[in-house]
Structure 1
Amino acid sequence: MNAAGSEATSLHEISLHMANLRAHWLAWGGSDSIHEDLIVYRSGLQHGLLNGVLRLSGRSVPEAAPEAEQQLADLPWRWWVGPDSDAGVAGALLERGYSRIGSMPVMAVRLDQMSEPPPPVGLVIECVDGPDGVRDYVVAYASSFGVGATLQNLVVDAESSLRTDLGRLIRVVGRIDGRAVATSAVLISRGVAGIYWVGTDPTYRRRGIGAALTAAAMAIGRQHGALVCTLQASDMGAPVYRRLGFTPVSEVVLYSPPLRP
């Protein structure tokens, strides 16, 4: 696998966007390959974002769903349906009792055309690593991603133990008066720069901090040789990303499993 090269030259090489997404979540634990027909990631943590199915291709939902449900039993999890899943997966999940819980546009931008807004006054942006840096990073994104206080230590441990064979992950923290208040991360994998974990402490929102952290991650991706940057946008984040030049190129839809006796 090329973790750092510039394989993607077009915003519409969707297979590379989705491969980057799979590499990011599989780093938390799961399938050994990102090319299997049923791709499951499992952190083992009690958080719905950290466990799930990333793709189903070449098998039917009635055949594959029981296998996924067994692997993810006793955990909160989500089934991602994107452009790399077989047609009909979404409908078959609904027939099985799954619930559609939301969608996210897949957005992309060429990094040779990126704009870099000036950071807000007082914001210090830095890449972090090591135990203290990872802890600051997790604490800073916890409120944005629903990581409660009782789960934070476990998430710090998991972040510190992510697989490194699927790409290079660089974590970024934004500080105000020394306090870590915002985050982003960029994964250099499959020839693109994938941006994840963009979050700002609610007390510090609407100051341009999220845009600054996103732009910092984009710049890091460009420095590592990527030409195309990809992300999946929340409703809150999409307008910010549009202002930074991102455009929608596809969509992923999330489903929650039915309760089973």
Structure 2
Amino acid sequence: MDTETVRARFDEQLRQHAAGGERSGPVVRVTRERGGWDGVVWSGLTGTTADAAIAAQTGYFTDLGRGFEWKWYAHDEPADLGERLAAAGFVPGPPETLMVAEVAALPTVPVLPDGVTLHRVTDDAGVELMLRAHRRAFGTDPAALGAMVREQLASSPELIDVLVAVAGDGEPVSAARLERHPGTDFAGLWGGGTAPGWRGRGIYRALIAARTAIAAAHGVRYLQVDASDDSRPILGRLGFEVVGTTVPYTYGSAGGAG
């Protein structure tokens, strides 16, 4: 895979022309009304335009009474954009690795531990199951995630697939999402966190295989992941390649895309 070509295609299809995105000068942003979360997904900035653009976006979301996320990628210009965001009051989150794989090269048959089954989320009860898995895996409050997924299931259920791995006792042990983008070559893998007592048993890999099968059935060419340090080695062994790095910079109280 030519990673530079794939990265350029990713920038053009999923950032510059993001579904639900709106252009604000040299910036493309999404809002919860248009894209499920509040954030900046792309910018074409220079050293002379960056500070004004940052101020414009902080003013816009502040006027709405919201925090937001600026998805910074290491190849974005200017080179010191991250430092400028921090100086403007943004808080950087943990860095993530942008990884991409060709769907045709990935396994599509999920292999689960004994007693664990996969459930597809289609209603509010399923969303609650997903949120319970998220709490067990990450130990954080997933309220913003729940609101976003409910909105997606209500407005465009054909574009999102949510899977929950459930143990024999009925407890959710992991959850993950596939988000498709019609008219592009990509679908995104999100979530995938597993409860501590169930890690190392292949559940994360099984969820990737299950979502790959769905993507293949819809003709998706590439799967994209913003990988944590924990998931990056697993994804690398499966065939995902590093395309770049990204850091979520948050301003105020923001619910991001993860």
Q: Give the TM-score range, shorter chain.
A: 0.7 to 0.9
Residues 140 and 201, structure 1, Cα contact 8 Å, conserved in 2: yes
Amino acid paired to 1:229: L
Amino acid paired to 1:54: V
Residues 137 and 195, structure 2, Cα contact 8 Å, conserved in 1: yes
**Which residue, 71, 90, 105 being the options, matches 2:82?**
90
**Structure 2 SS opposite 1:159:** helix
Shift of 1:171: 0.8
Partner of 1:184: 176
**Which residue, 247, 252, 258 being the options, matches 1:253?**
247
**Which residue, 196, 201, 209 being the options, matches 1:202?**
196
Shift of 1:127: 2.0
Give every structure 1 segment of 4 or more consecutive aligned residues whose post-TM-superposition deviation is greater than 6 Å: none
**Which residue, 209, 212, 222 being the options, matches 2:206?**
212
Partner of 1:131: 124
1:67 equivalent to 2:56? Answer: yes
Q: 1:243 to 1:96 in 2, by over 3 A?
A: same
Amino acid paired to 1:79: W
Partner of 2:6: 13
Partner of 2:256: none
**Structure 2 SS opposite 1:72:** helix
Residues 102 and 254, structure 1, Cα contact 8 Å, conserved in 2: yes
Partner of 2:42: 55
Q: Choose 92-101 or 180-189, whichever is displaced more.
A: 92-101
Q: 1:256 to 1:192 in 2, by over 3 A?
A: closer
**Which residue, 8, 18, 28 being the options, matches 1:39?**
28
Shift of 1:234: 0.4
Partner of 2:165: 174
Structure 2: where are the runs of 5+ without partners?
254-258
**Structure 2 SS opposite 1:13:** helix
Q: Choose 159-168 or 205-214, whichever is displaced more.
A: 159-168
For these two proteins, the number of residue pairs brought into alignment is 239
Shift of 1:100: 4.1
Q: Distance in 2 between matches of 1:214 and 1:117?
A: 8
Amino acid paired to 2:111: P
Q: Distance in 1 between matches of 2:23 and 2:164?
A: 28
**Structure 2 SS opposite 1:235:** coil
Q: Choose 197-206 or 58-67, whichever is displaced more.
A: 58-67
Partner of 2:133: 140
Q: 1:158 to 1:118 in 2, by over 3 A?
A: closer
Q: Choose 74-83 or 238-247, whichever is displaced more.
A: 74-83
Q: Choose 136-145 or 191-200, whichever is displaced more.
A: 136-145
Partner of 1:159: 149
Q: Distance in 2 between matches of 1:158 and 1:54?
A: 17
- Cα distance per residue 1:130-178 (max 9 Å; x no partner): 1211221122123434542xx64x6434421138569811111111113
Residues 102 and 255, structure 1, Cα contact 8 Å, conserved in 2: no
**Structure 2 SS opposite 1:206:** coil
Residues 10 and 228, structure 1, Cα contact 8 Å, conserved in 2: no
TM-score, with structure 1 as normaliser: 0.75
Structure 1: where are the runs of 5+ without partners?
1-8, 45-49
**Structure 1 SS opposite 2:95:** strand
TM-score, with structure 2 as normaliser: 0.76
Amino acid paired to 2:53: A
**Which residue, 223, 226, 231 being the options, matches 2:220?**
226
